[in-house]
Amino acid sequence: MKSIIITILCCLINTTVSALTPYEATYTLSWFGIKAGVDNRKLTVKNNLYHYKSNAKTTGLGKLIKDYNIEAEAILSIDHSGVNANSYSVFEVINGVIEKNITIKLKNDDLDPLSLFLALSNEINNNPAKINFDFMVNDGKKIERHRYQIVESDDANTVKIIEKDKNIELHFSKTQDALFTFFKNQRFSLKLKSVIFEE
């Protein structure tokens, strides 16, 4: 009887998942290395569902070049299997014209462009020995496979991840709940400016 109880306790311990801490963060948005706007992101949790919102927009000179505003939200849950994306919506306006207005339900373990960031944070928190990640990402128009790999970082407090096929580089904090701190592809980049975690 004692051995059965110990076995059950071990299973419970092994399936314990470290939850992500809600926060509000502001990122500097740059195009080809030039500061062009901001991306305000907010992670909240209610009734075991995470709501991850992003509002990216151009400001100052960037707005004069292109008046760009995009609002997106991902709703998801997290368990021992990882991030389970539920739904994704995105509303994009460029120079006063609606370019994108999409709402989708996710299935077959697919992620969306927003929940992908949280999936990587969750993997870093809960599977520290893992270095390769493979996700299917649905943006409402197409579904693509994304393969990421952790590589050596110059900063001891940063987890550096790359996706060679798409020339993407991401950074996550080792000291702030695996918070996404930097993103770069061929066209634009996001860099963490400030963050407030919920107490």
User: Do 50 and 78 contact (CB within 8 A), yes or no?
Assistant: yes
135-145 pLDDT, tens digit per residue, is: 999 999 999 99
DSSP helix/strand/coil, 24: strand
The tokens for 23 are 């926060």
* Domain covering 20-197: architecture: Clam (2.50)
Amino acid 14: pLDDT = 41
∠ Cα 68 75 86 (to 5°): 120
Condensed to tens digits (0 to 9), the pLDDT of residues 46-71 reads 999 999 999 999 999 899 989 999 99
How many whole angstroms separate alpha carbon 135 and alpha carbon 143?
A: 10
Q: Can you tell me the mean pLDDT for 76-82?
A: 93
With 70 as the cut, is the pLDDT of residue 6 above it? no
Q: How far is CA 139 from the centre of its chain?
A: 13
Query: What is the rounded CA–CA span in Å between residue 42 and residue 156?
Result: 26
- Residue by residue, DSSP assigns 4-44 as HHHHHHHHHHHT--PPPPPEEEEEEEEETTEEEEEEEEEEE
Contact at 8 Å (CB) between 69 and 93? yes
Q: What is the Cα–Cα distance from 124 to 193, expressed in whole angstroms?
A: 21
The model's pLDDT over 160-179, given as tens digits with 9 standing for 90+, comes to 999 988 899 999 999 999 99
The pLDDT, as a whole number, for residue 165 is 86
pLDDT at 151 over 90: yes
pLDDT at 19: 78
> pTM to 2 decimals?
0.88
